[in-house]
Amino acid sequence: MKIGITCYPSMGGSGIIATELGIMLAERGHDIHFITSNIPFRIRKPLPNITFHQVEVNQYAVFQYAPYDITLSTKIAEVINEYDLDILHMHYAVPHAVCGILAKQMSGKDIKIMTTLHGTDITVLGYDHTLKNAIKFGIEGSDLVTSVSQSLAKQTQDIINTNKPIVPIYNFVREQEFPTKRDNQLKSAYGIADHEKVIIHVSNFRAVKRIDTIIETFTKIHAQLPSKLLLLGDGPELMDMKQKAKSLGVEDHVLFLGKQDWVSEFYQMSDLVLLLSEKESFGLTLLEAMKSGVVPIGSNAGGIKEVIKHDETGFIVDVGDSDTASEYALQLLTDQNLYNKMQTAMLADIDARFASNLITDQYESYYKKMLEGNHE
Ligand code: GMT
């Protein structure tokens, strides 16, 4: 198949999934065309059947705002015609689903459009009245819509008020990128002693990630156990969170490591991953950490409950509940048998439900159904 993919290429889980799926499909022999503003950052070596088409927006004095959406749609239409694409796979509802529909009309071709919803495109932007109708238009005008969890499918129908069927297809990790292994070398390079436990959180430091609860949880763990908290990422909450660590007296034990494109090594030195968000459609960072062997504690928000099986492959706590989170963390970090048991169950569950081949098979089978016209 010849597939055009549009995503936000340089940030966030949606761009990562779009890119990793493109790589998987290319490895299976499909022709993949990324139509994006930049080369997706997870593409690090040339792959023969991946072509990248860059969208460049010109600025003219008459424009108050450069028209990215129109330029993107025009570029997609060009690629549809030049490469005779079969399918467009648009990641993120706005503007991408809408641009896909516009590009299809411009191209004059009967190309099929799949839109994958990732989370904030619905749970945040879906409440914005300046965008809601565009999101609904993009969803209802796509041939097939997928979401990264069952929870997001349900939320979409409620928030956007649509009866459009939405197919949940979980996120995945390409296994070779996140080997299950332990590596303490980096730990000493970061000045962390061997006996200290390492807790990690990776995000874009938005308020929904509730990093305040993570620092509170860590403070309670640290009071009982020598430990360090690694915070990877950057975003609007960063300065406030540095202040929070100071005010709780743990600033020497919280390492703010900034944005890192390659996170696998950090997971390899970690013992516990925390994702305590108040909104989270899936939590790809959890899956990446879990595949690396790190046992998770997550909040009961959105799709996190679908990723972690409570008391079996990790623990789930209420949003904002740092007491329970720290109690579970201390159980895990002081009872090696419990840790090993959960780690074994977690790795088996990842193979059973989130394997890269399994998820790619699901996307591929829906592409085929769209082309055969029996996807409704
Ligand atoms: O987490 C973010 O704010 C980034 C966002 C994105 O658009 O890339 O992530 C969303 O998509 C990921 C990939 O499907 C999911 O794993 C994240 O859970 C989801 N984020 C939220 O729902 C907040």
Per-residue pLDDT of the chain (376 residues; tens, 9 = 90+): 999 999 998 778 999 999 999 999 999 999 999 999 988 877 878 888 999 999 999 989 999 999 999 999 999 999 999 999 999 999 999 999 999 999 999 999 999 999 999 999 999 999 999 999 999 999 999 999 999 999 999 999 999 999 999 999 999 999 999 999 998 889 999 999 999 999 999 999 999 999 999 999 999 999 999 999 999 999 999 999 999 999 999 999 999 999 998 899 999 999 999 999 999 999 999 999 999 999 999 999 999 999 999 999 999 999 999 999 999 999 999 999 999 999 999 999 999 999 999 999 999 999 999 999 977 6
Q: Residue 273 forms beta bridges with which residues?
A: 200, 296
Q: Which of 293, 250, 295, 245 is nearest to 275 (CA)?
A: 295
Tracing tokens 């789930």 back to the chain, one arrives at 316
Q: Using the atom order of ligand 1, give the atom closest to the CA of residue 15.
A: 8
Domains of the chain with bracketed CATH? 2-172+355-371 (3.40.50.2000), 175-353 (3.40.50.2000)
Q: Is-contact 8 14, C-beta < 8 A? A: yes
Confidence (pLDDT) at 261: 81
Ligand 1 atom with minimal separation from the 206 CA:
3
Report the C-alpha gap between 132 and 128 in whole angstroms: 6
- What are the distances in angstroms from CA 263 to CA 8, 200, 339? 19, 11, 22
Q: How high is the pLDDT of residue 266?
A: 97
Indicate whether residue 12 lines ligand 1 (CB < 6 A): yes
pLDDT given for residue 262 in this prediction: 87
Residue 13 Cα, ligand 1 centroid: separation in angstroms? Answer: 5
Q: What is the C-alpha to C-alpha distance for residues 294 and 152, in angstroms, rounded to an integer?
A: 25
Q: Tokens for 110? A: 């009967």
Ligand 1 contact via 155 beta carbon (within 6 Å): no
CA dist list (Å): 18 to 5, 21, 173, 249? 7, 5, 11, 40
Q: Distance between CA atoms of 300 and 314, rounded to whole angstroms?
A: 12
Confidence (pLDDT) at 44: 75
Whose C-alpha lies nearest to ligand 1, atom 12? Answer: 13
Distance (angstroms) between ligand 1 centre and the Cα of 20 equals 15
Measured in Å, residue 203 CA sits from the centre of ligand 1 at: 9
**CB of residue 149 inside a 6 A radius of ligand 1:** no
- Backbone dihedral region for residue 7 (phi beyond 0: left; psi -120 to 50: alpha; all else: beta): beta
Cβ–ligand 1 contact at 120 (below 6 Å): yes
Does residue 284's CB lie within 6 angstroms of at least one atom of ligand 1? yes
Residue nearest to atom 2 of ligand 1 (CA): 12
If you measure from the C-alpha of residue 61 to the centroid of ligand 1, how many angstroms do you get, rounded to a whole number? Answer: 35
Q: Is the CB of 201 under 6 A from ligand 1?
A: no
Alpha carbon distance 73, 103 (integer Å): 5
204 Cβ below 6 A of ligand 1: yes
Question: Is the CB of 174 within 6 Å of ligand 1?
Answer: no
Evaluate: CB of 17 within 6 angstroms of ligand 1: yes
- The answer to whether the beta carbons of residues 279 and 119 sit under 8 Å apart is yes
Q: Is there an atom of ligand 1 within 6 Å of 268 CB?
A: no
Entry field: residues in the chain = 376
